Amino acid sequence: MIQKYYFNVSCDQIKSNNEPSIRFMVNLVLEIIKHMKIKALKFGISLLMLLAILISCEEDDNSTSTVPVRDRTEQQVADRDSLLAYLSTHYYNSGFFEPSSDYEYTDIIITELPQDDDGNYLDMPDPDNNTLLIDAVETLTTTFLDTEYEYYVLRLNQGEGVAPKFTDAVRFRFEGSIVETKEVFQSISTPSNLNLQADGFGSSGSIKAWQLVMPTFNTATGFTLNNGIVDYDNYGLGVMFVPSGLAYFSAIILDVPVYSNLIFKFELLQHEEVDHDNDGIPSYVEDYNNDEDVLDNDTDEDDIPDFVDFDDDGDGITTFNELVQATYNQEPVLAENEYIYSRDETSEGIVIITVTAQDTNSNGILDYLDDSVSINYNEDEE
């Protein structure tokens, strides 16, 4: 169910970029066909998924054609008002949370202030143990689809593990509810995985808010197994308050009405680095303008963004073949432009393969991004 959920959102975002995205899709198909010989099965499947996305988007277009999509900036003005009003009239059980203890997202209780008979808000009860949300949240900002957004985070535990990148996959538990109706629309209490970044093929991504908030928290330091149940230690725990524009906006998803502001209580448990095009360069690195958007980086301007382009400079030598491999039998200290490509742990020990980007002509442009340098470092092995 969650797959479909995020899938549709990707569709919505694709439509908001419209023409360039369609070009991107078409070129992606051509690129897939060109390289089908290499990884026929994987890309064959991707091709089918891609067609499914196109069909899905088309259906959506027809069904919503009579209702114009609202202006993002106008909607954000209204959403900001709604969220600030909510944060000013709701409190959480702050006294329950003691430092250096692990709590669950279900421990977080948010309650509306009491009201008198005329509906006027009264003082917060038990201020020693409760805190008004507006006094506890961090206000964060971003620009997304040319719109300035404000979103809010209640940080109950930072976590002591690793901060995921915005293109990674995370393992999490959460409960999502709707600000306007106060209804819980989804909760996932069994640790589950989510790709923060969709790849335009079959892999669905998360809403923008998760991509923005997850990297500001850390995963667990580790876990212990107790009778088959995984207990995570010192993980990120918080709540995000999200305007519709960083959530599902005009898409109809599950039972969430369009333009809903959302609240997610979450635990960030684990993460995994993702290299969407498997070219050896992790996807977060392929965001060369560092704007936390991998869709607007396209070195060879073939309308296939670098993070899903396995020949980034379009010089005919794949990115992976323009990297130099090294093998280690213990945890390596990575050099500049060196990334772990694979890790195998067996009874014989650990084998880690890394790839390192080269700048053969020292012009400050790495070979795999430089179409004037075309050296295949793996040629001898093929």
List of residues contacting Ca ion (CB under 5 A): 275, 277, 279, 281, 298, 300, 302, 304, 306, 309, 312-313, 315, 367, 370, 373
Nearest to Ca ion of 74, 272 (CB atom): 272
| Closest distance of CB 355 from Ca ion, Å | 10
Nearest to Ca ion of 95, 316 (CB atom): 316
Nearest to Ca ion of 4, 23 (CB atom): 23
| Closest distance of CB 277 from Ca ion, Å | 5
Residue pair 195/187 in contact (Cβ under 8 Å)? The answer is no
| Closest distance of CB 297 from Ca ion, Å | 8
Q: Which residue has the CB atom at the shortest distance from Ca ion? A: 309
Nearest to Ca ion of 181, 363 (CB atom): 363
| Closest distance of CB 294 from Ca ion, Å | 9
Nearest to Ca ion of 175, 298 (CB atom): 298
| Closest distance of CB 372 from Ca ion, Å | 7
Nearest to Ca ion of 199, 309 (CB atom): 309
| Closest distance of CB 23 from Ca ion, Å | 12
